Amino acid sequence: MNGRWGYPAIAPFFVIFLIFGVAPVVYSVYISFYKWDPLGVSEFNGINNFTFLLQDSDFWIALRNTFSIWALSTFPQLAMALGFAWILRNRRLKGKSFWRTILLVPNITSVIAITIVFQQLFGRDYGIINSLIQLIPGVERIDFVEGTLSSHIQIATMITWRWLGYNTLIFLASMLAIPDELYESASVDGASRWQQFVFVTLPQLKNTITFVLIVGTIGGLQVFAEPQQLGADGGSTKQFLTLTLFLYNQAFLNNKYGYAAAVGIAITIIVLIISTINFFITRRIASESSS
């Protein structure tokens, strides 16, 4: 009786997964071998989409931008989140839950709203950041959106602002799980607060840091809304064109669904490579901490 009903019971998940998960993947692999315009001509194109992709300078620029924005948004954010968590962990801090709630507010703000506000902050002529920069004598206005590095900084700032609180809370949770005895014995040994942070807290957070890094990498490869809002085409020299934006533009701006599918497959391969690297690093960390 139980055996008979087991499969129907789990069927809804698999049916939905087949329709919305597997089918689109199979379909996009299929159309990646076609020149595919839903309102125009569609014809078999062999591996041309893929060979063209490897020669397409825009793809390589997008790859560079994606990793640059990822690095600029992940590492400073990690350091800041650790710092904030360390402050929030402090026993003498008043209004703890207030600060924890405040930290999460950016995370529930819509990306579009964030982009609009940050665009004004970073505005070339009337942005507050440029007004501050102008106070330093001899420094020129920065056209954030036009520059390559500066536009990456602008986008990374938005991402950091949005995700900092979330990562802080994750660090805080695992910091609170570190037994007090470790700190007590460290202070008995004469360790300063900084030494305690470096030699007790950080090693204990190793797994959490790995987790945050992996989640950050996944998010980093998906950066889309922020650059799209800054300029749908990714900037005049494609300076902030990211991989997902590139894919989206090929499909929905240029109506090249086949080519976009090929880009999607390329992104999948990149993600697989990074996941493999992640896997080996995580395994090494795990074996180190168990030994």
Partner 1 sequence: MLRTTSTGLNRKNSKSLIGISAALILIVSSFVQPARAADPITLTIWTFGEVIQPGLQREYQKLHPEVKIIPIKNDVDPLHQKTVLSCQTGGPADIIAFEVPYSGYWRTGNRPNCFQDLRQMKTSDTNAAAGIAAGLSATDIKKNYLPWRWEQGVAFNDSVIGIPTDVGGLQVAYRVDLFKKAGLPTDRTQVSKLWPTWEKFIAVGKKYVAKLSAAEKKSGKGFIDDAGSIYSAVMNQGTAKYYQADGTDAGKLVYKTNPQIKKAWNTTVSALNAGIGARLGQFTSDWNIGMNKGAMATILSPAWMLDYIKKQAPETRGKWDIANLPGGGGNKGGTELGIPSYSKNKQAAFDFLTWYLAPEQQLKVFKTYGLFPSTSVLYNDPELLNYKDEFFNNAPVGQIYTQGVLKLKPIFEGELERKIDTLFGAGLGRVASKKMTPEKSYALVISDVDKLFKN
- Cα separation of 81 and 213, whole Å? 12
Angle between helices 57-89 and 148-176 (to 10 degrees): 40
- Could you give the C-alpha distances from 150 to 114, 137, 154, 203, in angstroms and in order? 18, 20, 6, 34
- Cα separation of 207 and 160, whole Å? 21
- Identify which of residues 71 and 232 has a Cβ nearer to partner 1 in the complex: 232
- Identify which of residues 217 and 229 has a Cβ nearer to partner 1 in the complex: 229
* Nearest distance from C-beta of residue 51 to partner 1, angstroms: 10
- Identify which of residues 140 and 181 has a Cβ nearer to partner 1 in the complex: 140
* Nearest distance from C-beta of residue 122 to partner 1, angstroms: 11
Is residue 43 at the binding interface for partner 1, with CB under 8 A as the rule? no
| Binding residue for partner 1, selected from 28, 45, 65, 201, defined by CB under 8 A | 45
Is residue 265 at the binding interface for partner 1, with CB under 8 A as the rule? no
- Cα separation of 63 and 12, whole Å? 37
Chain residues 87-116 in contact with partner 1, contact rule CB under 8 A? 116
- Identify which of residues 147 and 219 has a Cβ nearer to partner 1 in the complex: 147
3-state DSSP assignment of residue 44: strand
- Could you give the C-alpha distances from 80 to 6, 68, 74, 168, 222, in angstroms and in order? 48, 18, 10, 8, 22
| Binding residue for partner 1, selected from 254, 268, 275, 276, defined by CB under 8 A | 254
- Identify which of residues 168 and 249 has a Cβ nearer to partner 1 in the complex: 249
Instruction: Give the residue among 173, 42, 159 at the shortest CA–CA distance from 107.
Output: 159
Is residue 121 at the binding interface for partner 1, with CB under 8 A as the rule? no
| Binding map of partner 1 across residues 180-219, x = CB under 8 A, - = no contact | ----------------------------------------
Helical spans, DSSP H, in 18-147: 23-31, 48-55, 57-89, 96-104, 111-121, 128-135
- Identify which of residues 36 and 70 has a Cβ nearer to partner 1 in the complex: 36
Identify the bridge partners of residue 43 per DSSP, sorted by sequence position: 35
| Binding map of partner 1 across residues 126-165, x = CB under 8 A, - = no contact | x--------------x-x--x-------------------
| Binding residue for partner 1, selected from 120, 192, 268, 289, defined by CB under 8 A | 120
* Nearest distance from C-beta of residue 52 to partner 1, angstroms: 5
- Identify which of residues 38 and 95 has a Cβ nearer to partner 1 in the complex: 38
Amino acid, single-letter form, for residue 212: V
Task: List, as one string, the DSSP characters of 137-196.
Answer: TTPPP--TTTSHHHHHHHHHHHHHHHHHHHHHHHHHHHHHTS-HHHHHHHHHTT--HHHH
Tell me if 159 sits within 8 A of 73, measured CB to CB. Answer: yes
User: Is the C-alpha dihedral spanning 26, 28, 29, 31 positive or negative?
Assistant: positive
Is residue 13 at the binding interface for partner 1, with CB under 8 A as the rule? no
* Nearest distance from C-beta of residue 77 to partner 1, angstroms: 26
Give the single-character DSSP code of 232: T
Is residue 49 at the binding interface for partner 1, with CB under 8 A as the rule? yes
In the complex, the residues that contact partner 1 under the rule CB under 8 A are 35, 38-41, 45, 48-49, 52, 56, 58, 116, 119-120, 123-126, 141, 143, 146, 232-233, 236-237, 252-256, 258-259
